[in-house]
Amino acid sequence: MSDTHEHSVSFVRTESIAERDPPYAASGPVKWMRDNLFATPANSVLTLVSLYFIYLILTATLPWILNGLWNTSSLAECRQVLDGAVGACFSVLTERWNQLLFGFQYPNELYWRPTLALVLFFVAAAPVLFFDLPRKLLIFTALYPFIAYYLIWGGALAVPFVALGGCIAGGFIYQRFVAGSFALGFFGGVVAALVFWYVGGMLIPENANGTAMMTAVPSRDLGGFMLNMMLGVTCVSLSIPLGIALALGRQSSMPLIKWICVVFIEFIRGVPLITLLFVASVMLAYFFPPESQVDLFLRVVIMITMFSAAYIAEVIRGGLAALPKGQYEAADSLGLDYPQAMRLIILPQALKISIPGIVNVAVGLFKDTTLVSVISMFDLVGMIRGPILASTEWNGVYWELLGFAALLFFVVCYGISQYSQWLERRLATDHR
């Protein structure tokens, strides 16, 4: 073969020539730009407009940010130092840092308590968020609400202990009886917890708060971003079980229960959160027994929890509806009763489908906690619009403060939504 070849052609290249670079315009950044930025004339125009837009934004903000001052004590001083140059007075953030985070009434010397509570929150949340961590950490998560309560509010140590004791008593009764009947276990547990709390409440001496090791802080002294975080975390965690109950109720075959849930959900979803907050601030007090005083924070927590429970219920209902009917039938054919089928087969799958929706609701709810500033609670926005902008020193510093608030919320909300996307990929067990 090689012989014939040798004779039939006069020249055979014996080695391959070196690869040539692709044409300049078809490789590297140029090609990328041609493909992605200047593919068509219309596209080029869009690119140029976008570039101009970015240029405008950067020229407006960059000098302002880079020239910012961090250590003046008032706006007047800051303007004097800037001397007409463009620059931000970030010193309002450094000077009012504690107020922005903790509100203006939380005792200064106690700031370590909410800070520690926040750090512990990450520890407590970790095993819930990341499944690879040792399961034993969940014990800490279960204890966390009581620790956080004690850290933030202080007061008598007996209060969180009695609360914890009630939960343990309830859990114990539940474990004892759940094998027989779920309803018996569940209601028995609730009753046990209530009895424990009632008796425990009797035992706590009247003046326990006065003699406590940790100074008691009334909840109206809470404020700043701490208040947003607390409202967000508390209400979301409380509303998930309530939402599950409502969703199951709405799917129920019992007409009365179904209608109670439908009316509740549609009512709550039909009105803006702000009217519910008005209810909390001006109306709810009338619905409690005359001799009791439930403070504003608790009233707001009740209303926001109801609000987010209604939305979470709708998300979970979607999850329940999305499960193939075969799953329900399979559970029935195994002879499981309703609570067993729900706990062991349906809810784990439905909740998994609902996670992105629940996270969306949680992010929305966290953002909506800023609305409490309208009913004169001093959350981050309330602090900015109230005491800080009203003070003689910082009268007129809008952008630094609003930008800071926006940045804080962005970081938290964006973080949560990124986590949710990660989780979705992680939980995707369908075979692709």
HSE on the CB side for 111, CA within 13 Å?
Answer: 13
Q: Which is nearer to another protein, 6 or 27 (CB)?
A: 27
| Token pair 């909740």 in the structure block, residue | 351
Q: Which is nearer to another protein, 308 or 373 (CB)?
A: 373
Work out how close the CB of 398 gets to another protein at its nearest, in angstroms, rounded to a whole number: 5
Q: Which is nearer to another protein, 133 or 421 (CB)?
A: 421
Q: CB of 34 within 8 A of CB of 25? A: yes
Work out how close the CB of 130 gets to another protein at its nearest, in angstroms, rounded to a whole number: 22
Helix axes 224-251, 347-368, angle to 10 degrees: 140
Which residues does residue 224 pair with via DSSP β-bridges, in sequence order? 379
Q: Which is nearer to another protein, 126 or 285 (CB)?
A: 285
Work out how close the CB of 119 gets to another protein at its nearest, in angstroms, rounded to a whole number: 22
Q: Rounded distance, CA 322 to CA 354, Å?
A: 10
Q: Which is nearer to another protein, 126 or 257 (CB)?
A: 257
Work out how close the CB of 230 gets to another protein at its nearest, in angstroms, rounded to a whole number: 12
Work out how close the CB of 225 gets to another protein at its nearest, in angstroms, rounded to a whole number: 12
Using alpha carbons, select from 104, 123, 110, 113 the residue that is nearest to residue 148.
113
Helix axes 112-129, 224-251, angle to 10 degrees: 30
Q: Which is nearer to another protein, 104 or 172 (CB)?
A: 104
Work out how close the CB of 378 gets to another protein at its nearest, in angstroms, rounded to a whole number: 8
Which residues does residue 155 pair with via DSSP β-bridges, in sequence order? 214
Query: Residue 269's CB: how many other CB atoms inside 10 A?
Result: 12
Helix axes 182-203, 158-178, angle to 10 degrees: 160
